[in-house]
């Protein structure tokens, strides 16, 4: 076993280096798109923090999901966050799979450009929606009598711009319609549905998205309408974006079974070198975002 590791680790390292060269080339062409998407994540957080100043606690609204799903309680509120963290981290790891697996259908940079486009459009609609009408938050810290339900007027612009991170993100109120957690969840699941290769994982991902929806309602973090609106809005946004942006290239090499290490060092290295030279010669212009 030690001999196998000593022999194969250099192969894996060469593959990671070759893939890094390709991704850096793509990054040099698409960094503006990535940067704009990342900046918009901050702007979305800023808008969500701003609406907290407008939030006014009140009686919890009548909700069908609350009627059918028992309240989990404060001590089990972590369940939805735990599942969301699993979904988020799993997607990030999958997006990095070209660095380690031979069955590589995607480019990491291009996948994240597309994901950030989905997120930005969905979040623009979300900001317009929750600033249009502020509902009384159903979460425990947003209810009447809680000191966190209302924010005192900001003393300076810096206080607003810093978003009181991370406290302001965890204990926000007012940004209800529609659920930000479901935006990320559905974007990740839809992206894997389109560009992933494992059918069982796709099916499991959709099941987890449904479970995540139910846990959010049972945790009283959102009303049922927030979840329902997220489901159809994100899917329509993804359909719209996919029709406006060029399709991402399928870079599969004919293998559907991933292998952590190259099966043939000569063949696999030559493929990576050939692909890298295509980028360097400018023939990759057709796959930029």
Query: Is position 250 annotated as part of the catalytic site?
Result: no
Give the residue carrying structure tokens 């009384």. 136
- What tokens does 135 get? 């509902």
Active-site pick, 44, 49, 52, 222: 222
Give the residue carrying structure tokens 């609406």. 51
- What tokens does 242 get? 């996919």
CA dist., res. 21 & res. 16, Å (int): 9
CA dist., res. 129 & res. 84, Å (int): 23
Q: Give the burial class of 96: count Cβ atoms within 10 A of its Cβ; 0-12 exposed, 13-18 middle, 19 or more buried.
A: middle
Burial pattern 43-61, b for ≥16 Cβ within 10 A else e, equals ebbebbbbbbeebebeebe
Active-site pick, 44, 49, 175, 226: 226
CA atoms within 13 A on the CB side of 66: 13
Residue from 281, 55, 270 nearest 151 by CA? 55
Active-site pick, 44, 49, 55, 181: 181
Kind plus residue range of the DSSP H or E element containing 136: none
Query: Is position 181 annotated as part of the catalytic site?
Result: yes
Query: Is position 242 annotated as part of the catalytic site?
Result: no
Cβ partners under 8 Å of residue 198, min gap 6: none
Which residues does the annotation mark as catalytic? Answer: 181, 222, 226
């Amino acid at each position: 076993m030690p001999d196998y590791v000593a022999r194969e680790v250099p192969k894996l390292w060469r593959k990671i280096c070759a893939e890094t060269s390709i991704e850096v080339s793509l990054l040099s062409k698409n960094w503006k798109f990535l940067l704009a998407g990342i900046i918009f994540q901050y702007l979305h957080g800023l808008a969500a923090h701003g609406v907290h100043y407008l939030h006014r606690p009140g009686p919890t609204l009548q909700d069908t999901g609350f009627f059918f799903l028992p309240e989990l309680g404060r001590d089990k509120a972590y369940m939805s966050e735990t599942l969301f963290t699993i979904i988020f981290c799993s997607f990030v790891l999958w997006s990095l799979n070209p660095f380690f697996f031979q069955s590589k259908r995607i480019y990491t940079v291009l996948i994240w450009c597309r994901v950030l486009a989905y997120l930005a459009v969905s979040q623009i609609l979300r900001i317009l929606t929750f600033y249009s009408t502020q509902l009384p938050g159903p979460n425990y810290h947003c209810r009447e009598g809680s000191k966190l339900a209302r924010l005192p007027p900001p003393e300076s612009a810096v206080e607003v711009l810093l978003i009181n991170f991370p406290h302001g993100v965890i204990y926000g109120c007012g940004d209800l319609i529609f659920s930000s957690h479901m935006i990320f969840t559905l974007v990740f699941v839809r992206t894997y549905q389109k560009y992933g290769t494992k059918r069982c994982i796709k099916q499991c991902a959709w099941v987890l998205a449904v479970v995540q929806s139910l846990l959010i309602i049972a945790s009283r973090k959102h009303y049922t309408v927030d979840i329902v609106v997220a489901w159809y809005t994100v899917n329509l946004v993804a359909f719209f974006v996919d029709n406006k942006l060029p399709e991402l290239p399928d870079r599969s090499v004919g293998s559907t079974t991933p292998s952590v290490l190259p099966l043939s060092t000569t063949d696999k290295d030559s493929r990576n070198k050939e692909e890298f030279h295509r980028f360097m010669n400018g023939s990759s212009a057709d796959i930029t975002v």
